[in-house]
Structure 1
Amino acid sequence: MSPALALAVAAALLALATVVGIVLRRRDGRRLGGGNLRFDPADAASNGLGDRATLVQFSTEMCARCPQVRRLLRDYVSDHDGLTHVEVDLTHHPDLSTRYRVLQTPTTFLVDGTGAVRARFHGVPHRHALAEALAAV
């Protein structure tokens, strides 16, 4: 392979990686649809779902951003009546990542009182996106 061709391939890979990184970064923290999923409270080993809604956080032990999301969601729940926060550790229950289609941690679901997933957030959710999703429940 000629040096010019190798340089062109390397530049193309760098450009592709940059575009993919920008797209993923823009999706991070934004509200996505629930995808017709139902959350089973038994998977969280919690006392059940909140009266109005539940924020279900999927995390792992090695997740760097999960503690930040945990604090954010706990603060958000303390400001809203009928809202509960539960955390599911995928480190000890990897089968749940397949069942709920969780590809990265942290991932947060907004679940209504019946267990239907109304919204999902990848990464650190934006407060305004949480407010919009909760208003729709």
Structure 2
Amino acid sequence: MKKILLVNQIDLSEMYSWLQDPEAGGINLFIGNVRNHAQEKAVVKLEFEGYKPMAMKEMEKLAAEAMEKWPIKKLLMVHALGSKQIGEPVVVIGTATAHRKDAFEASRFLIDELKNKVPIWKKEYFADQTVWVNAHP
């Protein structure tokens, strides 16, 4: 079972609750937040944009690939779009598997490949300037 979303707000308790499965002894939940610095400058906020049809298609491909490689009971990939403040979650990757090793490996694969392949961009707001960058270099 999988859940793949592009959303305005991420509810972390909802994400964790959805991953619960009686057959899963290992649940790995990776949360990427807005940090207060980048490029040795203070970050004020970030803004995320994505090409939704292609982003969803790529996320679906990654989920299918992960589910072929690991015995995943539940898989979660969620990325926020829009304006985000310091400390807000912007990406959540979750896997529920029988054993922790599979959960860790699958989650690592998913976040790394999402950052490499999914068309999402961010605008970094600094005190002195604003810059568009690929959110996932």
What is the TM-score normalised by the length of structure 1?
Answer: 0.32
Larger Rg: 1
What is the TM-score normalised by the length of structure 2?
Answer: 0.32
> In proportion to residue count, which structure has more strand?
2
> In proportion to residue count, which structure has more helix?
1
